[in-house]
Structure 1
Amino acid sequence: MSERTFYEFFAGGGMARAGLGQGWRCLFANDFDPKKAASYAENWGGDVLHVGDVANVATNQLPGHADLIWASFPCQDLSLAGNGAGLGGARSGTFWPFWNLVKSLRDEKRKPRTIVLENVCGLLTSHGGADFAALCNAIGDAGYWFGALVIDAQHFVPQSRPRLFLVAVDQSMNIPGHVISPYAVDMWHPHRLRTVQATLPERLRSRWLWFAPPVPKPSATRLIDIIEDEQTGPCWASEADTARLLGMMSPVNRAKIDLVMANRHRSVGAVYKRTRMEAGRKMQRAEVRFDLAGCLRTPGGGSSRQIIMMIENGRVRSRLMSARETARLMGLPDRYKLPERYNDAYHLTGDGVAVPAVRYLAENILLPVLNLREPHIVAA
């Protein structure tokens, strides 16, 4: 089988590249952030990397005819924590100059065969679904079949991280029947996705595909497995600080701690500080889980950093999650070189795409589509 080629936009530290893995060759990568770009170059080399605004990239910088364009465009204006600007915002709105490049490639007869757009699920409800409809309209007008699915990283790593993957396939290509379903599948197409899809104009719904990969095998990686054997990151907090953290827990969360302590086994939990409304006023609470870490986020403030809670022999300790532990939660191998500064590393991982989710999508949708030789008729 010939090597597949791709362009990687909004590349960050190259997590999509890590997920695609062997058998794929990157022809061009772009990111605006010089710190993330430095990590990309450190791990993958800088020969195909262009650092700068995507609006200033020209098609003559994009060599060859790529099988895939991967674009994990900025989510800040689409996330629940964002400002609600949507695709008109300064960050998420960079999708449009990127899409102008795609249209220019089409005009040059170098239209990419497949495209994957990855973002937060907030894209589905941004501006009442209008932003998602605008993306679908752009993709459909460019001559693609398309569909979306939500893949949660917890299928592969101990992190709750649902993300929206919008997959487009050139209309000239055939679609293998086993990668699509005639109807929505609950596992991949949650209610809010089905709802917004139903509001699309008929001309767009006629191009829609319900991509439905097989159910992945349960992950064998536990939260305790991501803990570093030799700690390289933040130090353990003082007993007083840990006591304050426990004091921020609701009775429900404190009961989880007491239950684990009673079992006397070494256990690891992940703690997030969140603001909750209680009795009509805002309260900062610490919430713990022992099965999964919460969704990693960029370190915009202290509350966005996850805390490790270790319980062993009746003793409770706490500390910030290390950079290497966040990388493991994203499915990055330990050989992946992280930035030396903690915040830079946390920003890199918290803003990335889960590596095994990329790999799963590539193996179960992208490669079957690209490798298909026999014709297949797609039902509208």
Structure 2
Amino acid sequence: MRTFYEFFAGGGMARAGLGEGWQCLFANDFDAKKAASYVTNWGSDDMVREDVAKLTSEDLPGQADLAWASFPCQDLSLAGAGAGLKGERSGTFWPFWKLMLALKEQKRAPRLIVLENVTGALTSHEGKDFSAICSALSRAGYRFGAVVANAVNFVPQSRPRLFIIAVASSVSVPGNLESDGPVEPWHSTALKEAFQKVPKTHRPKWIWWNLPTPPQRETVFADLIEEKPTGVKWHTQEETKKLLGMMSDLHLNKVKAAQKSGEIKVGTIYRRTRPDGKGGRVQRAEVRFDDIAGCLRTPAGGSSRQVIMVVKGRSVRSRLLSSREAARLMGLPDSYELPARYNDAYHLTGDGVVVPVVRFLAEQILEPILASGDIASKRAA
């Protein structure tokens, strides 16, 4: 059985993606509500609700094959304050890393480490934050590489995320998992530029991970919509009219085109602040009818909540995205138990990692590496 630690675990979406072939030895999150959801769905045996900075290596049992860390993104995202790895939230990477170094000293270092974050981590502080992470991995004896995976290849949600995947130097990597150079679409322009800023002394440990073409997604956004949504109500005609009144001509024309199509069209809306052309700012409602949802976001305030718009001929209806629909957009099964309060459920899902993306990376990289190492160990014995 493969084993793992799950840091910044939230509701355990990395655990869901890894699947039944993996055993969790330890899970951690500071947020009481997220930890409660983790316990509800996975049990209390592994979860420790505590500030990662207060943990010690003695809190971590055994030796895990994998340490997964989806550390907070707020200081690295475009919507954040730009504090980067020096920020209060994203800076929690360093206490996590201190634990990894302590395990190394005790000869219990995980064979694999996966760090997940927003793609803004590539350009934060002009690439210095990404470079700092890569340098830390290299100094600790890991080979490492990164991929940018957009969840839209797996679920109908536009959600690009950065995954830094590191493997201990003592562990062999099957040759087919390494490429001589960048591989589309996994190595974006921003990633290739970030790599150029990694110190030359550490670049020899870089791996261009070789992944196959993403699978063909089988669902569209409309497939995930609840017929009888839980926890949300359809807007009144006045509320929908107000939403339409916040649209620019560009987006109103999208609605009109949907009305003329003769089909039922399901779109999503975010409210965004845009220039008003007069030197000021105005809030706009921006709609998309391309069969995918916008990226789930969790900033405070109602504007961060995604709205559904359903168009059927002259009929135009709108409402908030339900918490179950948000969970489906993250690849969670309907058997996953969500918090009762809407805001708690929306924050839990929007702050997580997309389950099928984790499964894909586990299947294509993590599990083959571990299997190769297990085979080599048996042969040596």
**What's the TM-score bracket when you normalise by the shorter of the two chains?**
over 0.9
Q: CA deviation at 1:211?
A: 0.8
2:351 partner letter: D
Which residue is 2:122 aligned to? 124
Matched, 1:174 2:172: yes
Give the alignment's TM-score, normalised by structure 1.
0.96
Give the alignment's TM-score, normalised by structure 2.
0.96
Matched, 1:59 2:57: yes
**Once the two structures are superposed, what CA deviation does each residue of 1:122-155 show, in whole Å capped at 9, x if it has no partner?**
1111111111111011110000000111000000
Which residue is 1:333 aligned to? 333
SS of aligned partner of 1:359: helix
Which residue is 2:379 aligned to? none
Which residue is 1:39 aligned to? 37
Matched, 1:346 2:346: yes
Q: CA deviation at 1:249?
A: 1.4
Q: CA deviation at 1:278?
A: 4.1
Pairs within 5 Å for 1:1-380:
3-279=1-277, 280-290=279-289, 291-373=291-373
Counterparts of 1:180 and 1:70 in 2: how far apart (Å)? 21
Which residue is 1:378 aligned to? none
Give the paired residue count: 373
**Once the two structures are superposed, what CA deviation does each residue of 1:259-292 show, in whole Å capped at 9, x if it has no partner?**
1111222221011111122424322211111221
1:372 partner letter: S
Which ranges of structure 1 fall in alignment gaps of 5 or more residues? 376-380
More displaced stretch, 56-65 vs 37-46: 56-65
Counterparts of 2:360 and 2:280 in 1: how far apart (Å)? 43
1:292 partner letter: I
**Once the two structures are superposed, what CA deviation does each residue of 1:34-93 show, in whole Å capped at 9, x if it has no partner?**
000000000000101100101111212211110100000001111111111110111111
1:74–1:94 CA contact under 8 A, matched in 2: yes
More displaced stretch, 313-322 vs 65-74: 313-322
Counterparts of 1:51 and 1:206 in 2: how far apart (Å)? 38
SS of aligned partner of 1:367: helix
Q: CA deviation at 1:299?
A: 4.4
SS of aligned partner of 1:178: helix
1:299–1:346 CA contact under 8 A, matched in 2: no
More displaced stretch, 42-51 vs 217-226: 217-226
2:260–2:313 CA contact under 8 A, matched in 1: no
Counterparts of 2:286 and 2:300 in 1: how far apart (Å)? 19
**Once the two structures are superposed, what CA deviation does each residue of 1:158-214 show, in whole Å capped at 9, x if it has no partner?**
100000000000001111122221101230111111011012121211100011211
SS of aligned partner of 1:195: helix
**Once the two structures are superposed, what CA deviation does each residue of 1:1-39 show, in whole Å capped at 9, x if it has no partner?**
xx1000000000000000001100000000000000000
2:135–2:199 CA contact under 8 A, matched in 1: no
